[in-house]
Amino acid sequence: MTSIGTGYDLANSIFSPDGRNFQVEYAMKAVENGSTSIGIRCKDGIVLAAEKVITSKLLKQGANKRIATVDRHLGIVYSGMIPDGRHFVDRARDEARGWRDNYKTPISTKDLAGRMGGYMQAYTLYQSVRPFGITAIIGGYDSELDTPVEGEVGSGPSVGAGGKVEGKKHGGPFLYMVEPSGLYWGYYGAATGKGRQAAKAELEKLDLSSDGESSLTLEQAVKEAARIIYVAHDDNKDKEFELEMTWISGADGPTKGRHQEVPEALRKEAEKYAERMTAKDIEEEEETKEGGDKMEE
Amino acid sequence: MFRNNYDNDSVTFSPQGRIFQVEYAAEAVKQGSVVVGIASKTHAVLVAIKRNAEELSSYQKKLFPIDEHVGIAIAGLTSDARVLSNFMKQQSLGHRLTYGRNMPVRTLVDMIGSKAQINTQHYGKRPYGVGLLVAGVDDHGPHLFEFQPSGMTEEMVAFAIGARSQMARTYLEKNLEAFADCGREELIRHGLKALKESLVQDRELTIDNTSVAIVGVEKQEDGTTKPQPFMVYDGQDVSAWIESVADNQEAAPAAAEGEGMDVDS
């Protein structure tokens, strides 16, 4: 566990003599206790997935969504303190709308991540507020097409989602993860929450960064996302859980550039695959264990 | 000295990442008397136990109408609930003015969720010390939501909050499957039975301490549906329902199958 801050951890925005802000570290503890969220960026899209632990039988099934749509091409999933996450999403929607108002074009994933990173960081600066108790994964698909800008004058802008620079690659799927400190990075595969370690280990095995034959397609990524949530789920500690998944493809893909919930049929198929794969893993584990016992004899 | 240094305000995380002030606010909900809510395919009901400060005083209201299609049940600090209730009334009325139709229940609940979350992140504010059950109908049918001081809001099939509400929740969990197809009278009876589970020994439901509220969509004879506005029933109006769940009446529930309020007893 993180060392205790002996007096330097009682208020936000206070540096300890060795240069740490303990309140931000404690906020990250809140995230680490939250249920698992992951995001996958593959060559033709984004998948976001969340494990929702069922805390009560009385909860209405499938009614309480954890992955939010921020703009038509943007989605956010978060782990940690849920009400903080909802506030974060509200702000992200404001940013996306404000961007459209100003620039007459949808906000890029990178710009949204930048705005939201700045917003999170601001909550580490003052004693009058506390940091966010969440880590958020932002996924988006920026249009590759030369889309006309609403109310454009002349030929419109030469850069951004509405304009094009000749010979340069534009748009595509992007994934970012923002921490309570305001720090954010771009990712191929991102995981946060209780099961992040197991999830990261699985994400690293996937081929996400190459454009080659073996690199994951969007549909495969959906199945892997389901499997990773199943792997990261701790059956011993937690009760049942519900799997929520959303995806974003390019304009020529299944979601036509929009952030949408994965269709029920595909989700069910992915869950079957996840169940099958996790059951196989356990079998193999037991086999090797038995083998080990024999050796000792 | 084992003083907790991390529980003085809602802007300080404990080393475990907890915010004690918010957790303490959740305790305030447990001090309030119990309220139960259930939703079926056609109705959402709220039932509550009212408390009086002393023998001769009146009973504290527990159920509040917000708009034609929404109402709330409260457990915890009544004055905090009134702030939220006023806010909900304003928002819902404003929505009606601009859009010319009822505000979806989820939208309304999300608004109080956001409002409450801000109180947990800014110095000088405190979390609301009240929990709510929000019942309402919209285009997607009846809904029941739970609201907590942390700003957490969740849609439930049935739920109970307040003092000894665990007993009521156990009853609800046992009968969970039955609720979806319940009619309005049946749903109220389930609510009252759940409420009874949470009563202290030798206390019982009376017309003075029991409140019932209903909202729903009723199927007409010609096949169309008609919204049934949120209505709160108190006093003599609830007597038939209370009798229908009395311990000795258990065997003959059919007697109360008709319109409860019309019974002249």
Q: Which residue in chain A has the smallest CA separation from B144?
A: A60
CATH number belonging to domain A21-148+157-289? 3.60.20.10
Quickly state the pLDDT bin for A151 (edges 50, 70, 90). low
Could you report the per-residue pLDDT of A98-122, keeping only the tens digit for each? Answer: 999 898 889 999 999 999 999 999 9
Residue B104 falls inside a structural domain: yes
pLDDT value of position B259: 47
A window 116-135, beta carbon within 8 A of B: 123, 127-133
Distance CA B255, CA B262 (A): 13
Does position A36 have pLDDT exceeding 70, yes or no?
yes
Contacts 24+ apart (CB under 8 A), B258-261: B260/B185, B260/B188, B260/B233, B261/B233, B261/B237
Residue B12 falls inside a structural domain: no
B219 — contact with chain A (CB < 8 Å)?
A: no
Put simply, the answer to whether A56 touches B155 (Cβ < 8 Å) is no
**Out of A27-41, A190-204, B57-71, B221-235, least confident range:** B221-235
* CATH number of residue B29's parent domain: 3.60.20.10
A63 interaction partners in chain B (CB closer than 8 Å)? 155
Q: Which residue in chain B has the smallest CA separation from A87?
A: B114
Quickly state the pLDDT bin for A160 (edges 50, 70, 90). low
Quickly state the pLDDT bin for A158 (edges 50, 70, 90). low
Give this complex's ipTM.
0.90
How distant is the Cα of A101 from the closest Cα of chain B, in angstroms?
A: 21
Q: What's the longest Cα–Cα distance across chain B?
A: 72
Residue B249 falls inside a structural domain: no
Residue B128 falls inside a structural domain: yes
Does position A5 have pLDDT exceeding 80, yes or no?
no
Could you report the per-residue pLDDT of B137-166, keeping only the tens digit for each? Answer: 999 999 999 999 999 999 999 999 999 999
Average pLDDT over residues A140-144: 92
pLDDT value of position A237: 74
Does position A11 have pLDDT exceeding 60, yes or no?
yes
Average pLDDT over residues A186-211: 95
Residue positions counted in chain A: 297
Beta-carbon contacts of A90 under 8 Å, excluding residues fewer than 6 positions away, are B114
Distance CA A108, CA A68 (A): 17
Put simply, the answer to whether B15 touches A87 (Cβ < 8 Å) is no
Distance CA A189, CA A206 (A): 9
Residues of chain B with pLDDT under 70: 1-2, 248-265
Put simply, the answer to whether B13 touches A27 (Cβ < 8 Å) is yes
- Mean pLDDT of all residues in chain A? 90
A5 interaction partners in chain B (CB closer than 8 Å)? 15
Could you report the per-residue pLDDT of A58-85, keeping only the tens digit for each? Answer: 999 999 999 999 999 999 999 999 999 9
| Structural domain range at position B109 | 18-244
Q: Which residue in chain B has the smallest CA separation from A80?
A: B17
Q: How many domains does chain B have?
A: 1
pLDDT value of position A155: 65
- CA atoms within 13 A of residue A85's CA, in its CB half-sphere: 26
How distant is the Cα of A212 from the closest Cα of chain B, in angstroms?
A: 43
User: Domains of chain A: which residue ranges?
Assistant: 21-148+157-289
Quickly state the pLDDT bin for A152 (edges 50, 70, 90). low
Put simply, the answer to whether A10 touches B12 (Cβ < 8 Å) is yes
pLDDT value of position B26: 97
